[in-house]
């Protein structure tokens, strides 16, 4: 565990893991593992006692809201849930003014927004850390949690192959960044017309030169899953794309993850999905509920990684003498 790296993250935003070094990302994974181990033992971890986190949502959520709320509560802090339409984000008040006001009340902001540009504007105006809980471009808390799940499952990241099938969603974009940063080999198979943007492909090329990851962009799902340790998919359309549903179903039908496709991966391959899922479309029930599926491990690990992220970005100020004995070393090292 690189404690100095973790201490240096205090006050940073987390808009994309592209803004972090590989060493910083690995340190966050290490911290998540330590916090999860303590959580499994039932020991309280009041590392953020007295701190407040705003949860800003432009659209509803299940996993993002629950994982941040429960995680912050486990850390001894509080959350303020701001539901869609409840504040004047860029309407009767500028995004910058909203950010400055929120910064006077809370120690951090988690924002789940329609547009990544709005998130950037929010972060520019805020004087407290801003965390990307999902935008139209990236979903980095999801894909870093996925990396945590992959490492937990395999015991390593290096040499692991992940295959992603379907639309080039925000999760797909974020996986390209996360995998190329961390050294996870990634094969992306998108239908023509639904492919990863050129600028994100270029990020993958740049990152891979440092990490050694092999990132490839394909159209053939069978080729993508060959020798894969993990097979991942996402929804074929999202809110606001309902009018494209029929065209998307037709284009993506060959990319459905079913038993026949899973057999083309390694016999030990695991199935991943960020959820929510349209069962029977991007993946069959047989796969989602089968022995190779780790989708609910992924969902749980959102909370553990995000707890580590909150601890690093918001900083630990509690007195080591005021926390349970198993947590004292953690507090001492994080305080420095």
8-48 pLDDT, tens digit each: 999 999 999 999 999 999 999 999 999 999 999 999 999 99
- Do 140-297 and 3-138+302-318 have the same topology in CATH? yes
Long-range Cβ pairs for the range 204-207 (8 Å, 24+): 204/176, 204/177, 204/179, 204/180, 205/180, 206/180, 207/18, 207/177, 207/180, 207/181
Q: How far apart are CA 134 and CA 116, in angstroms?
A: 8
The answer to whether 302 is a known catalytic residue is yes
The answer to whether 306 is a known catalytic residue is no
CATH of domain 3-138+302-318: 3.40.50.1370
Q: Which fold has domain 140-297?
A: Rossmann fold (3.40.50)
Q: Active-site residue among 63, 65, 107, 112?
A: 112
The answer to whether 179 is a known catalytic residue is no
Q: Active-site residue among 17, 167, 274, 304?
A: 274
Sign (positive/negative) of CA torsion 94, 99, 100, 101? positive
Q: How far apart are CA 81 and CA 271, in angstroms?
A: 32
* Each residue's pLDDT expressed in tens, for the chain with a length of 336 residues: 899 999 999 999 999 999 999 999 999 999 999 999 999 999 999 999 999 999 999 988 999 999 999 999 999 999 999 987 777 777 778 999 999 999 999 999 999 999 999 999 999 999 999 999 999 999 999 999 999 999 999 999 999 999 999 999 999 999 999 999 999 999 999 999 999 999 999 999 999 999 999 999 999 999 999 999 999 999 997 766 677 889 999 999 999 999 999 999 999 999 999 999 999 999 999 999 999 999 999 999 999 999 999 999 999 999 999 999 989 999 999 997
Q: Active-site residue among 142, 256, 298, 306?
A: 142
Domain ranges of the chain: 3-138+302-318, 140-297
pTM given for the model: 0.95
Q: Active-site residue among 17, 30, 229, 234?
A: 234
The answer to whether 139 is a known catalytic residue is yes
């Amino acid at each position: 565990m690189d404690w100095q790296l973790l201490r240096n993250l205090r006050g940073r935003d987390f808009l994309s893991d592209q803004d972090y070094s590989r060493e910083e990302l690995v340190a966050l994974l290490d911290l998540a593992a330590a916090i999860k181990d303590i959580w499994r033992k039932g020991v309280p971890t009041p590392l953020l006692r007295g701190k407040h986190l705003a949860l800003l949502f432009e659209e509803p959520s299940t996993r993002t809201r629950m994982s941040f709320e429960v995680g912050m509560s486990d850390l001894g802090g509080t959350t303020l849930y701001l539901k869609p339409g409840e504040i004047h984000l860029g309407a009767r008040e500028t995004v910058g003014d909203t950010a400055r006001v929120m910064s006077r009340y809370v120690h951090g902001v988690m924002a789940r927004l329609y547009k990544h540009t709005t998130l950037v504007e929010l972060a520019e105006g805020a004087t407290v850390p801003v965390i990307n809980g999902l935008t139209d471009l990236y979903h980095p808390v999801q894909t870093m949690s996925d990396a945590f799940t992959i490492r937990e499952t395999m015991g390593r990241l290096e040499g692991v192959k992940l295959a992603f099938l379907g639309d080039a969603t925000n999760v797909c974009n974020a996986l390209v960044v996360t995998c190329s940063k961390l050294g996870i080999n990634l094969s992306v198979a998108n239908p023509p017309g639904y492919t990863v943007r050129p600028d994100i492909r270029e990020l993958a090329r740049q990152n891979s030169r440092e990490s050694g990851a092999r990132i490839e962009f394909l159209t053939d799902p069978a080729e993508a899953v060959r020798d894969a340790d993990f097979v991942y998919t996402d929804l074929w359309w999202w809110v606001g794309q309902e009018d494209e549903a029929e065209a998307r179903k037709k284009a993506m039908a060959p990319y459905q993850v079913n038993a026949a496709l899973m057999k083309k991966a390694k016999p030990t391959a695991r199935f991943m999905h960020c959820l929510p899922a349209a069962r029977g479309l991007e993946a069959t029930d047989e796969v989602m509920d089968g022995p190779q599926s780790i989708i609910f491990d992924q969902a749980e690990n959102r909370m553990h990684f995000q707890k580590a992220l909150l601890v690093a970005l918001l900083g630990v100020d509690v007195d080591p003498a005021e926390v349970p004995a198993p947590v004292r070393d953690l507090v001492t090292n994080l305080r420095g």
